Amino acid sequence: MLEERISYLYSVTENGHVWEEQITKIFKDGKFHSQASTDRQCIAPDGASGAKQEITKKIAKIIHTPEVVKAYKAKIAEADA
């Protein structure tokens, strides 16, 4: 019998991006068989979001302080110059 289990991995980059990665694990007869990263979304400090999980949005709200957002926007402006 095959069983699919989905879990999520969360990470934060040094420039403040909050990543949400969906991990799908397949078990065959109760034993681990394979794993794949099936979906990955990001919330940037400027508020652009593709995240699906509410916990990811809560993490971003904590991480994206006014200082982090200001530094991120300055880095973007510098790259565009």
Q: Is 16 exposed, middle or buried (0-12, 13-18, 19+ CB in 10 A)?
A: buried
pLDDT in tens, 13-61: 998 999 999 999 999 999 999 999 888 999 999 876 777 788 988 999 9
pLDDT of residue 27: 97
pTM reported for the whole predicted model: 0.77
pLDDT in tens, 68-77: 999 999 988 9
Assigned token pair, 5: 């289990």
